[in-house]
Amino acid sequence: MNEKQYKLRSGLFISKQMYRFQSKYIKLSNGCWKWTGPLHKGYGQFGWRSNPTIAQRTQGAQRTQGAQRTQGAQRTQGAHRVSYMLYVGPIPRDKQINHKCNHSWCVNPDHLYVGTAKDNMQDAIRVGVKLGQNRKSKELTLEQVVDIKILLGYGIKGCLIAYDFYVSPQIISNIKRGKIWANVDEEVIESVLEWNRITKDSTHGQNRS
The residue ranges of the chain whose pLDDT is under 70 are: 1-14, 49-74, 124-138, 200-209
**pLDDT for 107:** 96
Radius of gyration of the chain (CA): 19
- What pLDDT digit, counting tens, does each position of 67-126 carry? 444 444 567 889 999 999 989 989 998 899 999 888 889 999 999 999 988 887 777 666
Domains in the chain: boundaries: 1-137, 138-209
Cα gap 17→46, rounded to integer Å? 10
Q: At what angle do helices 169-177 and 142-153 cross, to 10 degrees?
A: 80
Q: Which CATH number fits domain 1-137: 3.90.75.20, 2.40.37.10, 3.30.70.141, 3.50.50.60?
A: 3.90.75.20
Cβ within 8 Å of residue 123, ≥6 positions away: 98, 99, 102
* Span 74-91, pLDDT tens digits: 678 899 999 999 899 899
Other Cβ atoms within 10 Å of 78 Cβ, number:
25
> Are residues 33 and 106 in contact, defined by beta-carbon separation less than 8 angstroms?
yes
Phi-psi region of 66 (alpha: psi -120 to 50; beta: other; left: phi over 0): left
Separation CA 61–CA 72 (nearest Å): 19
Q: Which stretch of DSSP H or E encloses residue 86?
A: helix 79-87
